[in-house]
């Protein structure tokens, strides 16, 4: 089955200073293997894509990227530098790679301009790595960014990152932080802030993409609607309807039939897309799951490649 992968990471030289501290606790052999794959755009990456049946990958920076840079001007310049680097990578192999922009939200007006510049370069949207210096995407200061994303018709992929403060309830269980549990809670909460904060009332055509089969949100639709009614939340739609209308999800790092079936049942097969989360997950495992999981064959084609082709207008670029 042909596959398009959407959460496939790389690192550019100018953003190493942000990525390396996040890997401080990773054993050196694992760090080396990940870095080798993040910085390779030739035979190593393409060979693993071929083995998994991935014909096209949309590349994005390995987090946290410029979201953690305190100097707004430097963040904006670093984001543009990373986007120029990625444009060069894509330009050498446009048949295999596309790109998500790195965006510095420290200056929302400049963020909107960079999103538009990247759209002109053929980028397929942007990936935002969680909160930006404690600020979340529901805040009204980011309305110019959302207005531009809606105008351009470009999706925004919200990728997990650390919260402002680690939840005290994790106590001594450090392993509950980050990818095990904490990132999903943080990212799902971030998306809910956008819904309950009215982002999609203000920008009804905006599109958000969540990895990991929706960061548990497809499982919670009834509960979200029930509590919104209880607390008198004033929105144009029920929370579940925004998730169905304005959110798409990918399989990144969730190669299991049960959550995939839940996401398809809750959102529809047109809202679920393949991803591998390379190189932090095994692309071969992701590809095998997509090929072998029991599902309707039309839905398999939708998830594997047709939904991504439609949402990101990939057919227009060949």
**pLDDT of the residue at 277:** 97
C-alpha distances in angstroms, 41 versus 59, 88, 92, 112, 277?
10, 11, 10, 28, 15
pLDDT (tens digit, 9 = 90+) per residue, 196-250?
Answer: 999 999 999 999 999 999 999 999 999 999 999 999 999 999 999 999 999 999 9
CA gap 163, 132 in Å, rounded: 10
| pLDDT of 162 strictly over 70 | yes
pLDDT band per the 50, 70, 90 thresholds, residue 307: very high
Question: What mean pLDDT is predicted for residues 251-274?
Answer: 97
Mean pLDDT rounded to a whole number for the chain: 97
**pLDDT of the residue at 317:** 39
| pLDDT of 315 strictly over 90 | no
CATH code, residues 3-317: 3.20.20.140
DSSP letters spanning 101-136 = EE--TTSHHHHHHHHHHHHHTT--EEEEES-BTTB-
Question: What mean pLDDT is predicted for residues 123-150?
Answer: 98
Q: Is-catalytic flag, 296?
A: no
Q: Which of 162, 277, 282, 302 is flagged as catalytic?
A: 277
pTM recorded for the entire structure = 0.96
């Amino acid at each position: 089955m042909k596959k398009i992968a959407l959460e496939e990471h790389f690192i550019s030289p100018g953003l190493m200073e942000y990525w390396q501290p996040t890997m401080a606790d990773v054993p050196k052999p694992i760090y080396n293997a990940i870095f080798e794959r993040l910085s390779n755009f030739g035979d190593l990456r393409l060979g693993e894509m071929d083995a998994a049946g991935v014909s096209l990958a949309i590349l994005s920076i390995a987090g946290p990227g410029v979201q953690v840079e305190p100097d707004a001007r430097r963040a904006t310049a670093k984001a543009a530098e990373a986007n120029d680097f990625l444009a060069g990578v894509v330009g050498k192999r446009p048949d295999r790679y596309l790109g998500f922009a790195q965006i510095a939200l420290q200056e929302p007006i400049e963020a909107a301009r960079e999103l538009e510049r990247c759209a002109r370069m053929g980028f397929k949207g942007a990936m935002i790595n969680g909160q930006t210096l404690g600020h979340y995407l529901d805040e009204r200061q980011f309305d110019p960014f959302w207005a531009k994303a809606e105008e351009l018709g470009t999706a925004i992929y919200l990728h997990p990152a650390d919260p402002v403060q680690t939840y005290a309830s994790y106590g001594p269980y450090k392993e509950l932080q980050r990818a095990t549990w904490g990132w999903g809670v943080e990212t799902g909460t971030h998306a809910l802030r956008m819904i309950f904060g009215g982002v999609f009332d203000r920008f009804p055509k905006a599109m958000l993409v969540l990895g990991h089969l929706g960061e548990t949100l497809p499982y919670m639709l009834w509960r979200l609607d029930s509590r919104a009614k209880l607390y008198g939340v004033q929105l144009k739609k029920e929370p579940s309807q925004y998730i169905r209308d304005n959110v798409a999800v990918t399989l990144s790092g969730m190669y299991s039939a049960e959550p995939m079936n839940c996401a398809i049942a809750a959102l529809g097969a047109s809202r679920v897309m393949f991803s591998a989360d390379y190189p932090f997950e095994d692309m071969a495992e992701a590809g095998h799951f997509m090929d072998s999981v029991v599902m309707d064959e039309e839905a398999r084609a939708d998830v594997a490649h047709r939904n991504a082709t439609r949402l990101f207008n990939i057919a227009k670029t060949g």
